[in-house]
Amino acid sequence: MGKIILTGDRPTGRLHLGHFVGSLRRRVELQNSGLFDKIFIMIADAQALTDNADNPEKIRQNIIEVALDYLACGIDPEKSTIFIQSQVAELCELAFYYMNLVTVSRLQRNPTVKTEIQMRNFETSIPVGFFTYPISQASDITAFRATTVPAGEDQQPMIEQAREIVRRFNGIYGEGTLVEPEILLPDNAACMRLPGTDGKAKMSKSLGNCIYLSDSSEEVRKRVMSMYTDPDHIRVEDPGKVEGNTVFTYLDAFCRPEHFAQYWPDYNNLDELKAHYMRGGLGDVKVKKFLYAILEELLTPIRERRKEWEKDIPAVFDILKKGSETARMVAAETLSDVRRTMRIDYFDDAELIAEQARKFQG
């Protein structure tokens, strides 16, 4: 069996550094590794509508933003299929059958859904679609027979739920029909859940604490210079803390030893820099300038590639259209297997028709 990737993002805004370290960077590496037979990258507009039902225009406007961010980061439409979720109707049908395999209490226990409900202040008015999005996500993953889902830590409960659905489905209807996916988490703790520039637990569009991949150099500088650090590190001489200090968490996520040779030869590596900060005698501004240089090195080529694609928006929509057509064909094959295993393919089931005919004749 081949190795297949499915991942995606909600088109609720442009993509940010959290997306980059949590999933996007990995996707590009895996795409170029040649180790995967197929790669599907989904713009999850239908999922985004589950908590934006009253604002479809936001989703509509952001589809192209996400597509541009993908292309800018090096997702290559020749190697990866980029598609729009709502254009693959088969996904809804799969979700409809999976819904019977999951209990309400199981969904209520999903920690990511719990946090997100709190974050959105839904309280008791949770849209059913939002509440059940882990099921819809299981259908996205299984429709493409994905073996691997590169994603951030917040997605772990979703993948676990998808695996349970697969086991339940295969157990009831037929072993081997659906494939159990595995999450591929970032290998570095800082990248699992990149904090926001305000120091909050997660950089997230919904929290407004992001550095976007398409931010201008000046915007990035401002964001970095106003970043949350150690609130007790007041004077340069004071010893500083690196744990919970966002600037250092970002360095953990983005800094490589060669960056020191290039931008700050006073140190050989991050451990040396951290030791100095903890001892005291190193000001935040210097560390922030270093981080800014590293981020600029990363973001400059992304920004430039984005500018190129922005010149030909119809071509980008064409990529999405072709990708959606390909995705639809693949999902339709899986759906047809699912219907056959569930034995709801009545009109293709000559045996059923003959058997029923005999029953009523006899």
Q: Does 140 bind ligand ATP (CB under 6 A)?
A: no
User: Least distance (Å) from ligand ATP to the CB of residue 154?
Assistant: 5
Instruction: Using the minimum distance from each CB to ligand ATP, give the nearer residue, 102 or 253.
Output: 253
Residue from 6, 18, 132, 335 touching ligand ATP (CB under 6 A): that is 18
User: Least distance (Å) from ligand ATP to the CB of residue 85?
Assistant: 12
HEC string of the chain? Answer: CCCEEEEEECCCCCCEHHHHHHHHHHHHHHHHHCCCCEEEEEECHHHHHCCCCCCHHHHHHHHHHHHHHHHHHCCCCCCCEEEEHHHCCHHHHHHHHHHHHCCHHHHHCCHHHHHHHHHCCCCCCCCHHHHCHHHHHHHHHHHCCCCEEECCHHHHHHHHHHHHHHHHHHHHHCCCCCCCCEEECCCCHHHHCCCCCCCCCCCCHHHCCCCECCCCHHHHHHHHHCCCCCCCCCCCCCCCCCCCCHHHHHHHHHCCHHHHHHHCCCCCCHHHHHHHHHHCCCCHHHHHHHHHHHHHHHHHHHHHHHHHHHCCHHHHHHHHHHHHHHHHHHHHHHHHHHHHHHCCCHHHCHHHHHHHHHHHHC
Residues in region 146-165 near ligand ATP by CB under 6 A:
151-152, 154-155
Instruction: Using the minimum distance from each CB to ligand ATP, give the nearer residue, 194 or 331.
Output: 194
Q: Does 193 bind ligand ATP (CB under 6 A)?
A: yes
CA distance to 20, 35, 265, 343, per residue, from 320 (Å): 20, 24, 45, 34
User: Least distance (Å) from ligand ATP to the CB of residue 315?
Assistant: 24
Stretch that binds ligand ATP, among 16-24, 237-245, 263-271, 334-342 (CB under 6 A): 16-24
Residue from 5, 6, 14, 22 touching ligand ATP (CB under 6 A): that is 22
Number of residues that bind ligand ATP (CB under 6 A): 19
Q: Does 10 bind ligand ATP (CB under 6 A)?
A: yes
Residues in region 198-237 near ligand ATP by CB under 6 A:
202-206
Stretch that binds ligand ATP, among 121-129, 196-204, 221-229, 240-248 (CB under 6 A): 196-204
Instruction: Using the minimum distance from each CB to ligand ATP, give the nearer residue, 202 or 223.
Output: 202
User: Least distance (Å) from ligand ATP to the CB of residue 10?
Assistant: 4
Instruction: Using the minimum distance from each CB to ligand ATP, give the nearer residue, 90 or 154.
Output: 154
Residues in region 72-111 near ligand ATP by CB under 6 A:
none
Residue from 23, 139, 148, 229 touching ligand ATP (CB under 6 A): that is 23
User: Least distance (Å) from ligand ATP to the CB of residue 261?
Assistant: 28
Which residues of the chain form contacts with ligand ATP (CB under 6 A)? Answer: 9-10, 12, 18-19, 21-23, 151-152, 154-155, 193-194, 202-206
